[in-house]
Amino acid sequence: MSLDLAEANFSHLSKEFLRVVEVAAVESARTMGFGQRKQSDRAAVEAMREAMRSVPMNGRIVIGEGERDKAPMLYIGERVGRGAALPDDDANPFPAVDIAVDPLEGTNLCATGAPNAIAVLAAAERGGLLHAPDMYMNKLVVGPAARGRLHIDAPVAENLRILSECLRRAVGDLVVSVLDRPRHEKLIAEIRAAGARIQLISDGDLSAGISAAVSGSGVHAVMGIGGAPEGVLTAAAMKCLNGEIQARFVLKEQLHAEDCAKVAEDSETIARMQAMGITDPKRVYQTDDLAPGERIIFAMTGVTNGNVLRGVRFFGEGKRTSSLLMTTRPHTVRLVDTVHVEGGPDAVIRL
């Protein structure tokens, strides 16, 4: 029998994944503000892939940089970790793990030095993360206080009223994070009409979702259409943070004209969804549908400063990273502040 993702392995792996997201963040952060999003992304992808090689697991990428023919690294289906050199069968001595990666979530944010760029991955036992195609997804993300209380199909004003009750404050005190896109004109108008405040973001609805589930971040919900892969990663984070995501895939016919050019014809998309096991394209996905795993590991490191994490800081004697490392078993949320010392025996560590 191949090893299950047993408790001991599981906590050990989480530390390995921390190292993986830390190096991806460091390498992309070196390119901050260069105005070269592809270069920033490549730096993160290469660093993450290299760091992943030595992880003692039989890993398989389920959400990655794209299909194999388009992405040479961390493509969907790529096997990673020390177990990748051996057949993917019961005799493989390494624990079988499914992995969703976003080596640099917010490539533009990094390229311009804007807040909330992160390096992130989620892992689970095999089958623990939905194989979501790279397409658009409508999302509603809230924190623990409102879990189970809102519905993605309810009118925006009603959801905001319930959210305000759950958070014991006025609707006018709420902040909803929304991607700043023409497709959200109506949504933005509805949030404004309901009286809530809005944080328009240029990119990064995954880190916004995490903010919504962390009290004190200043964000109370995320609404609107972003990427489906980011939706699965958000779900993995919500399992650890006791928050909630509700989501639905969005087909071309429902998209704003501006976004239509970016997506394939619906017939092609539906075929891709079916190949990935998604038979009902209109279904509402709950947190547990997107991330059904029981043993989830979620690791993220700040690249640029953000609502929850600080970005990478470089200084003469090393660098410092700020990360979130979360597991469902045991259920822990670690805020990890790492000093990577490079200055030798005379380096001074500061608080």
List residues binding ligand VTB (CB under 6 A). 105-106, 179, 181, 203-206, 226-227, 230, 262
Nearer to ligand VTB among residue 41 and residue 125 (C-beta)? 41
**Least Cβ distance, residue 131 to ligand VTB (angstroms):** 17
Spatial separation of the C-alpha atoms in residues 214 and 212, rounded to whole Å: 6
Nearer to ligand VTB among residue 241 and residue 250 (C-beta)? 250
Spatial separation of the C-alpha atoms in residues 244 and 233, rounded to whole Å: 12
| Contact status, residue 31 vs residue 59, Cβ threshold 8 Å | no
**Least Cβ distance, residue 35 to ligand VTB (angstroms):** 16
| Contact status, residue 203 vs residue 181, Cβ threshold 8 Å | no
**Least Cβ distance, residue 221 to ligand VTB (angstroms):** 15
Nearer to ligand VTB among residue 22 and residue 203 (C-beta)? 203
Task: Give me the count of residues in the chain.
Answer: 351
Q: What angle do CA 321, 324, 329 make, to 5 degrees?
A: 140
**Least Cβ distance, residue 267 to ligand VTB (angstroms):** 21
**Least Cβ distance, residue 263 to ligand VTB (angstroms):** 9
**Which sign, positive or negative, has the C-alpha torsion 288, 124, 325, 179?**
negative
- Tokens at residue 48, please? 């993450």
Nearer to ligand VTB among residue 165 and residue 258 (C-beta)? 258
Q: At which residue do the structure tokens 């092609």 appear?
A: 268
**Pseudo-torsion of CA 171, 174, 175, 177, nearest 10°?**
-70
Nearer to ligand VTB among residue 181 and residue 319 (C-beta)? 181
Nearer to ligand VTB among residue 81 and residue 209 (C-beta)? 209
**Any bridge partners for residue 201, and if so which?**
179
